[in-house]
């Protein structure tokens, strides 16, 4: 039923930035492990296949996790609706509704408004027995997989078009730094922080995460 839609948009901006950042960290863990002093074309090819294959696999896995999250959200919504409809008192219904909505919203609602919500929820048709995934959920999962995979492409392109591994790695790192910065810049704007400062912090965080990933063999 329409009232049981997932609370998520189809890949909201925070999701997009997070998925691109995840894909970047994954591909940088491959490019960062490449030895430019000894790497030949075969080494570069193996690295590219590994990076693309890994990000494709993790994109699919992340998409599955996204669907699981959507299903869990819908399941919680159904459980809350049933509990509110079956509540024995207005006080219990108020508590359940307050727990289900953002705290800042609950804090400004008056008791009569909670009671109105309770009455309107009581008037809804009988909810389905279980939660189901909708078309938007599948689109969101596909978007997750696509973003994780295609975030690999700009970082990998220099190795496809440049003959020598050293210059290709420098260009690839420059592209990755720019992408990390813009991810941080976008995140800063969405969270009300200073975009340039968050962009620089994202570059530094990316460098630390890549170093840890490479050091731990990942």
Q: Which residues touch 59 (CB under 8 Å, ≥6 apart)? A: 23, 144, 145, 146, 147, 148, 149
Q: What pTM, to 2 d.p., does this model score?
A: 0.74
* Mean pLDDT value across the chain: 82
Q: CA torsion sign, 211 to 212 to 216 to 218? A: negative
93: pLDDT strictly greater than 80: yes
136's tokens:
């938007």
User: Which percentage of the chain shows pLDDT scores above 90?
Assistant: 10
Residue with tokens 């938007």: 136
**Length of the chain, in residues:** 218
37's tokens:
């002093």
- E strand spans, 26-171: none
pLDDT at 67: 92
Nearest alpha carbon to residue 146 among 18, 55, 10? 55
């Amino acid at each position: 039923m329409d009232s049981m839609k997932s609370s998520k948009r189809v890949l909201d901006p925070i999701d997009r930035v997070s998925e691109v950042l995840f894909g970047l960290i994954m591909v940088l863990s491959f490019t960062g492990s490449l030895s430019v002093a000894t790497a030949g074309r075969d080494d570069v090819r193996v690295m590219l296949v590994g990076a693309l294959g890994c990000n494709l696999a993790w994109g699919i896995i992340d998409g599955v996790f996204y669907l699981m999250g959507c299903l869990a959200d819908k399941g919680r919504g159904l459980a809350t609706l049933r509990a509110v409809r079956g509540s024995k008192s207005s006080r219990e219904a108020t508590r359940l509704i307050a727990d289900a909505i953002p705290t800042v919203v609950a804090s400004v609602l008056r008791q009569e408004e909670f009671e109105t919500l309770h009455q309107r929820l009581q008037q809804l048709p009988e909810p389905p027995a279980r939660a189901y995934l909708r078309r938007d959920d599948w689109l969101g999962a596909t978007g997750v997989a696509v973003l994780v995979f295609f975030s690999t492409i700009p970082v990998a392109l220099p190795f496809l078009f440049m003959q020598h591994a050293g210059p290709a790695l420098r260009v690839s790192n420059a592209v990755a730094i720019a992408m990390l910065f813009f991810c941080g810049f976008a995140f800063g704007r969405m969270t009300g922080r200073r975009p340039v400062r968050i962009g620089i912090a994202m570059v530094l965080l990316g460098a630390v995460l890549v170093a840890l990933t490479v050091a731990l063999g990942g």
